[in-house]
Amino acid sequence: MSREDETRPEIAIVASFGVTVAAAAVFAATYALGGQTQILGAALAVGFGGLATGLTVWSRHLVQGGGYVEEHEGFASAASEVDEMTERLTSIAHPHRRGLLGMLVVACASLGAAAVFPIRSLLQPRGDHPERQLSRTVWADRSFRLVDAGNRPVRIADVGSETVLTVFPEGHTDGGDVPAFLVRLDPAKFTAKPPAADIDGVVAYSLLCTHAGCPVSLYEQTSGKMLCPCHQSVFDLLSAGRPVAGPAARALPGLPIAVDPSGFLYSTGDFTGPPGPGYWGRP
């Protein structure tokens, strides 16, 4: 090798590390000037890229890789050593002291068992048994006015046949299990009566898919079907919310509603079944 060849890797390494220095300066300057994400990222990438390049050239040309061997002593100790170790370790369990050891184990186990109890606090500090909470919603508490996401009361005249209208019990628009939707259907097309009776074709159902709880938000007007965007379950609103395709197995529960003299809608009870995904104790 000529002298030139020998120094070439060194030049490359110095140049790479130089790039890193420049990139570090660019990073600092960009940060000081406002921190534009792309430039910051690119500067760090170039900086670490310089280090990586320099070190790779270093490892390929300036240090010798491979060429070493190390003997392997085997994975297990000699049998005599194992025996000795076992002897030492078990000497504490001399027959005279077995009772002491047994009591020590019992004492530690009791403390361990006692330490399990505070886990109860994680379950929920207050409230009913989980399955009872799952089986009912706020709608059961009393009669609510139906409001939209903006907390505006909904009139029966607001309900169209082209799109569904998402509604909540007044004052509970954040609830996870309460969302319902309203849509106007043609009662003549019903192949099964809606689970909670309709008012001139206006029906109310739980919005939550009975498969995994996603909101079933895609409505197809021509067929009267609701599609869940998560796992593509389809519910037929003309046939009492029955699942007709996809992984959902149960019909959408209906919401019993009524209309007051000034045309506002209100609820008259809880959903006709627990909304959303199934669970062991679901009736």
Residues 62-101 that bind another protein (CB under 8 A): 63-76
Other CB atoms within 10 Å distance of the CB of residue 139: 25
Q: How far apart are CA 263 and CA 283, in angstroms?
A: 34
Structure tokens at 120: 């109860």
Stretch 148-187 residues interacting with another protein (CB under 8 A): 149, 166, 168, 174-177, 179
Helix (H, G, I), strand (E, B) or coil at 220: strand
**Using CB under 8 A, which of 131, 186, 200, 220 touches another protein?**
131
Distance CA 21, CA 56 (A): 17
Question: What is the rounded distance in angstroms from the CA atom of residue 152 to the CA atom of residue 170?
Answer: 8
Q: Rounded to the nearest whole angstrom, what is the least distance from the CB of residue 133 to another protein in the complex?
A: 5
Which is nearer to another protein, 4 or 71 (by Cβ)?
Answer: 71
Q: Which of 7, 59, 191, 223 binds another protein (CB under 8 A)?
A: 59
Binding segment for another protein among 83-91, 92-100, 185-193, 240-248 (CB under 8 A)?
240-248
Is residue 55 part of the contact set for another protein (CB under 8 A)? yes
As a three-state string, the secondary structure of 242-277 is: EEEECCCCCCCCECCEEECCCCEEEECCCCCCCCCC
Which lies closer to another protein via its Cβ, residue 103 or residue 245? 245
Does residue 242 belong to the site contacting another protein (CB under 8 A)?
no
Site for another protein in 182-211 (CB under 8 A): 207, 211
> 43-72 as b/e, with b when 16 or more CB fall inside 10 Å?
beebbeebeebbeebbeeeeeeeeeeeeee
Residues 208-227 that bind another protein (CB under 8 A): 211-215, 217-218
**Which residues ranging from 9 to 48 are in contact with another protein (CB under 8 A)?**
31, 34-35, 37-42, 44-48
Least gap, CB of 246 to another protein (angstroms)? 8
Residue placing its CB nearer to another protein in the complex, 55 or 103: 55
